[in-house]
Amino acid sequence: MNIEIGIIETLLVALLILFAGYFCNSKIAILRNNNIPEPVVGGIIFSLIAAIAYSYFDIVFDFDMSFKKPFMTIFFTTVGLGASFKLLLKGGPKVVLFLVVTSVYLILQNAVGVTLAMSTGMDSLMGLLGGSVTLSGGHGNGATYADLFISEYGMPGSVFELAMAAATLGLVLGGLVGGPVSKRLIKRHNLKPAEYHEEVDDTVTFSPEDHDLVTPKRMMETLFVILLCMVVGHIGHIALKEAGVILPSFLIPLLFGVLATNVCEFSKVYTISRPCIDLWGTMALSIFLAMALMSLKIWELANLAGPMMFIILIQTIVLMMFAYFITFRIMGKNYDAAIMAGGHCGFGLGATPTAVANMEALVARHGPSPQAFLVVPLVGAFFIDITNALVIQLYLSLPFVGN
């Protein structure tokens, strides 16, 4: 029996799922300490309820997902609007160097995923799902590309559930392996924090307008900019699709967001509020993930879970080795570099909050590292999503991927 649920009721259920995730994270330490996103927690709980309803009562919930894609596009547009080149330059050469290191790893991560998938008889697209799509990209990116692979490449519907499972497993592993990698580096090289650290200027991370109050007018102005980028991006996406160029629907709005924020900064015609961008992005991603996870069909996941788990475990080993032998060396072979290596493990498998949690646990025991807390969040929060989208698109253009 199918139960059809309207668009407003669907949004209401999505918010209930989100609030359930907040409640569980506030009460269950293991969820909170591993930075499992609230929409994922609530969504998994709902998917279990839906699985019970299907298994014992033959009930299937049919939600109206009309809001899902717009919320997803809003989030990725805010990612573009947050990618300020001035911010990148103010962070100094370490930020640029760390961005280069992590971007090179994205290429390696997808190479490992695609190679393992093809060698085990899986579709090459499954390798991208077991690569930077879900691991460096997180749940939002995984959900987006899962929808793309289903609609444009004919992948089965269960791919979405698999992407969510891969992102969740990566998030947990990212929180588990970062600490041991950095601890081993610190112990082996007898590293200690510098006695003197330059005082970090607030303007490196935040522009002066960040201290303005978030007002309804500022929120609506920011929403106008977001929607303008989305509309222009949608027109560009349609034009490219008619020309035979298949791109994710969010990519063009994201790039227009990058263009808009940097044109505004350099021309000083208008100042886009970063706090408002962050708020719109956070709300859109949370609701999008909750809505996406509402349709999880756990009973369709079992056949694919084993091979994907194997790929992610191999990816975890590769990232640990990369962070240990490459990230650490390129970033300076000092205490700050060791902390950054742990942070790289965090968002190379999970998300920026996981990276920050890894580093916080390390500095609480071994001493402060202001440089690491400047470099890693800047790259993880503002720039890695841009390079990840470009790297994924590069792989999708290869003749042996998706065909």
pLDDT digits (tens, 9 = 90+) for 320-379: 999 999 999 999 999 999 999 999 998 898 777 678 777 877 887 888 887 787 788 778
Is the residue at 31 inside a domain?
no
For residue 5, give the H/E element and its range. strand 2-5
Query: How far apart are the C-alpha atoms of 322 and 326, rounded to whole Å?
Result: 5
Encoded amino acid at 150, one letter: I
How many structural domains is the chain composed of? Answer: 1
Q: Judge whether 187 lies within some domain.
A: yes
20: left (phi over 0), alpha (psi -120 to 50) or beta: alpha
Tokens 């900019």 label which residue?
225
Query: Which residues are within 8 A (CB) of 168 and not within 5 positions of it... i.e. 6 or more apart?
Result: 36, 40, 44, 139
351 and 35 in contact (C-beta within 8 Å)? yes
Residue 177 lies in a domain: yes
pLDDT digits (tens, 9 = 90+) for 289-324: 788 777 766 665 555 567 888 899 999 999 999 999
Amino acid at 248: P
**pLDDT attached to residue 206:** 41
- Between 22-26, 30-34, 250-254, 366-370, the lowest mean confidence (pLDDT) is in 30-34
Structure-block tokens of residue 398: 């290869």
**Residue 190 resides in a domain:** yes
Q: How confident is the model at residue 156 (pLDDT cuts 50, 70, 90)?
A: confident
Q: Which domain holds residue 391?
A: 69-396
Q: Which residues are CB-neighbours of 240 under 8 A, at least 6 positions away?
A: 247, 252
Least confident range from 41-55, 121-135, 241-255: namely 241-255
Assigned token pair, 303: 């056949």
Q: What is the pLDDT of residue 91?
A: 59
Rounded Cα distance, 223 and 214, in Å? 13
How far, in Å, CA of 71 to CA of 288, rounded? 6
Q: Look at residue 198 in the predicted model and tell me its pLDDT.
A: 41
Look at 195 and 363; give whichever has higher pLDDT.
363
Torsion of CA 48, 140, 202, 354, to 10 degrees: 50
Residue 20 lies in a domain: no
CB contact at 8 A, 177 and 316? yes
User: 200 pLDDT band (50/70/90 cuts)?
Assistant: very low
**DSSP one-letter code for 216:** H
For residue 132 the two structure tokens come to 């930077």
Query: How does residue 403 score in pLDDT terms, banded at 50, 70 and 90?
Result: low
Q: Are 101 and 94 in contact (CB under 8 A)?
A: no
Contact 110, 395 (CB under 8 A): yes
Residue closest to 229 by CA, chosen among 378, 75, 85: 75
DSSP secondary structure code for residue 212 in this structure:
S
- CA separation for the pair 96, 22 (Å, rounded): 35
C-alpha span between 179 and 338 (Å, rounded): 10
CB 347 within 8 A of CB 136: yes
- What mean pLDDT is reported for the chain? 83
In a domain, 145, yes or no: yes
Does some domain include residue 373?
Answer: yes
Question: Does residue 161 lie within any of the structural domains?
Answer: yes
Instruction: Note the pLDDT of residue 202.
Output: 42
